[in-house]
Structure 1
Amino acid sequence: MASQRLKRTLRGALTATAVAAAASLVAPVAHADPQPTPNNNASEAVKKLNELSKEAEAAAEQWHKAKDDLGARKAEQEKATADVQQLGKDVEQAKAKEAEFRVQVDKLTNASFQGARFNQLSALLVSDSPQDFLDQMSALELLANDNKQALDKLAGVKAQSEEAERKAKEAQTKATKAAEDAAKIEADLAKRKQELDAKVNQAKEQANRLTSAEKAARRSTGEEVNVGPGSGKGYEALQVALRQRGKSYVWGATGPDTFDCSGLVVYAFRQVGVQLKNRATYGLINEGSPVSRSQLQPGDMVFTNNNNHMGIYVGDNKFVHAPTEGDVVKVSSLDTQQFYAARRV
């Protein structure tokens, strides 16, 4: 029995050796490099696009703010430059008056000096009558009064001249400062534009990765709305904004065919005769009067996502806005955003 078990063990070992030897003679299998896995997770793709879009939108609003600041500094520079020119004319006029009154004062001073030697006693001695004496004294008093008035006027125009020169220098300093600030903002504007372009390109690339169904969903004009009666410029602007539903989002656009978020709001109010002073959300949030979320009315401007996005309140917790890349002007629930503030124009 033991010999039989030994034989079976030897046969098994020989068989395993033969199989291993045969396997070593077979050509190795070629393995191709692994292919990139297609992104079939739609929610992740959309989430990534939303993140990139928020970054791009924040950069866009900062860029708009820099442009608003540049416009303000240039306006200050123009006003200060105009003030310098006007104040320069004022200085010339004041100096001309000063020279005119100085001549008059010099003449009166000389006459007063001559009159001082013709005192009351002299007037009495040379007068032919009491009336003549009174006439002589009246002339002396008149001369003294004229001299005082002339001196007062000279002091006044001299003070005006000095004040005009002070204001001219101050205006020149403001003009120089505004020009320097504008130059700095322009340099910063170029930098922010590069940052914006980079983020926009990233968002566009991500938008192209969406499926056809996801792209179609983003082209929807959003929730149905039933806006009740209202009044005021904000309500009129809301009607304009609602008519833009379906138009594409484009960074930096202010209509009439494409919009970004603040561009839509500025456009809507401009169409009803309200020229908002700012273009960026950072400036628009200071226009009008503040409104709490619980007191929102159709037509109020609403700011979301840490003031990097905005739209116009429709009612029923909804607002019309231009969302982001690959999207269109639509109505959405405010619950899809992080509410930040609201203003009533």
Structure 2
Amino acid sequence: MASHRKPRTRIMQSAASRTSAVGVTTAALASVTLLSQSASAAPNDDKPSVEEVKAKVDKLYQQAGSQTQKYNAAKEKTAAQRVKADKALDAVAQRTAKVNEARRTLGQYAAAQYRTGGVSGTATLLLADDPQSYFDQQHLMDRMTGSQKEAVTQYQSRQAEAGEKRAEATKQLSSLTSSQKTLASSKTAVQSKLTEARKLLSRLTAEEKARLAEIEAEKRAEAQRKAEARAEQERQRREAEREREPEPEAPDEGAENPDDGADTPEPEAPETPDVPDDPAAGKVEKVLSFAKAQLGKPYVWGASGPNSYDCSGFTQAAWKAAGVSLPRTTFDQVEVGTKVAKSQLKAGDLIFFYDDISHVGIYVGDGQMIHASKPGDDVKYESIDYMPFHSAVRPA
């Protein structure tokens, strides 16, 4: 039987049409590739340079240092506030014990009244939380003995004292809570800055990290050149000071012997002028000895020794070794002692950096200091020109 199905129509393609189709497909693929490449290249165009990353990381470390000082201040305040709160709670407990003691005394009087068949109203008065409310009832007061009246007065006094101490404890606990919140906020701020810095550094390629190390080395080399120039200036200054010192006079051989029997008064020793900016004898040596013994120990924000330090914890510990008590933060340490110009620095002086006074080190001479550097670094020597100078003080 013949098939009645309509035969399929064959689509004839010429060579030209096939070529056109291939051309369209190739163009489409090329367009997709270009778009893909441009899409992937766009973020690279916005990627910061190594120099920009370094500037950003340095700024984050500085901000973390400033937040660390705020954390240290909050930590000290919280510790002090906790002591006050504990004392207030102890005072409440003591006053409450006295109130209970006075109440027991009243109870004894009330029990005696009951055993002897006394007026029940008097017993009620003695056991009341507020005996004063009964004072208007003159007939009850007339029935009370002198000792009973004294017991009531003592109870009232102790109850009032306990109320005052409870109010004070509530106030101190509220302040403690506020200090703890500030402490937690400062801790979060420090961690946030350090985390951001670590993320920036982690995104660098090996080549970029090498370039970053090169930039850092160049910066340190420049700071070291300045330190060497400062060391030469200090050497010349010391020589000039020695030249200005008067030479001791030689004895006159032709002079008469003072021991010829005449009473010659001994000359008075010249007064030693007070030099308020000179460190106390021996203290600087102890400071420097302590500082050098800490070299290589890690920087840890919020730490004050003995195994790790932040910058102000390190300077505080060093001067403590010399018997001098410094405050905990750079903000307070900068106010201690005598202000010193950068050109007049002496070993042991505290040097502060940045406009926000967020870093401090100990000057050791020749343009160098020892300081607890930054997160990921150690206690080490550094040129004082490595960071922007703010001010300097001489603690003793």
- TM-score normalized by the length of structure 2: 0.51
Q: 1:263 aligns with which of 313, 317, 332?
A: 313
Structure 2 letter corresponding to 1:59: Q
Matches within 5 A, 1:141-290: 173-208=167-202, 209=204, 211-212=209-210, 214-215=212-213, 217=216, 223=224, 231-272=281-322, 276=326, 278-286=327-335, 288-290=336-338
Q: 1:247 to 1:73 in 2, by over 3 A?
A: same
Q: 1:283 to 1:230 in 2, by over 3 A?
A: closer
Q: 1:235 to 1:174 in 2, by over 3 A?
A: farther
Give 1:203 shift: 1.6
Q: Does 1:54 align with 2:105?
A: no
Q: 1:245 to 1:179 in 2, by over 3 A?
A: same
Give the aligned partner of residue 299 of structure 1: 348
Root-mean-square deviation (Å)? 4.6
- TM-score normalized by the length of structure 1: 0.58
Output the CA distance in 1 between the equivalents of 2:284 and 2:84.
30
Output the CA distance in 1 between the equivalents of 2:304 and 2:370.
15
Give 1:340 shift: 4.0
Structure 2 letter corresponding to 1:52: L
Output the CA distance in 1 between the equivalents of 2:190 and 2:73.
13
Output the CA distance in 1 between the equivalents of 2:210 and 2:376.
12
Structure 1 letter corresponding to 2:74: A
Q: 1:233 to 1:48 in 2, by over 3 A?
A: same
Give 1:53 shift: 0.9
Deviations 1:124-181 (Å, cap 9, x if unpaired)? xxxxxxxxxxxxxxxxxxxxxxxxxxxxxxxxxx9xx97x998876655443322211
Structure 2 letter corresponding to 1:185: S
Give the aligned partner of residue 123 of structure 2: none
Q: 1:213 to 1:25 in 2, by over 3 A?
A: closer
Say whether the 8 Å CA contact 2:350–2:360 is kept in structure 1: yes
Matches within 5 A, 1:114-129: none
Q: 1:256 to 1:87 in 2, by over 3 A?
A: same
Deviations 1:180-222 (Å, cap 9, x if unpaired)? 111111122222222221111012223443623644857x898
Structure scoring higher RCO (CA < 8 A, sep ≥ 6) equals: 1
Output the CA distance in 1 between the equivalents of 2:295 and 2:179.
35
Deviations 1:215-259 (Å, cap 9, x if unpaired)? 4857x8985898999844454223322343344433233344443
Output the CA distance in 2 between the equivalents of 1:200 and 1:69.
24
Q: 1:255 to 1:211 in 2, by over 3 A?
A: farther
Matches within 5 A, 1:15-164: 25=23, 27-28=26-27, 29=30, 30-31=33-34, 32-33=37-38, 34-35=40-41, 36=44, 41-82=49-90
Structure 2 gaps, min length 5: 1-18, 102-152, 239-278
Output the CA distance in 2 between the equivalents of 1:67 and 1:230.
31
Deviations 1:44-97 (Å, cap 9, x if unpaired)? 33212111111111122111111111012112223444556677899999xxxx
Structure 2 letter corresponding to 1:303: F
* Secondary structure, counterpart of 2:346 in structure 1: coil
Say whether the 8 Å CA contact 1:65–1:283 is kept in structure 2: no
Deviations 1:103-131 (Å, cap 9, x if unpaired)? xxxxxxxxxxxxxxxxxxxxxxxxxxxxx
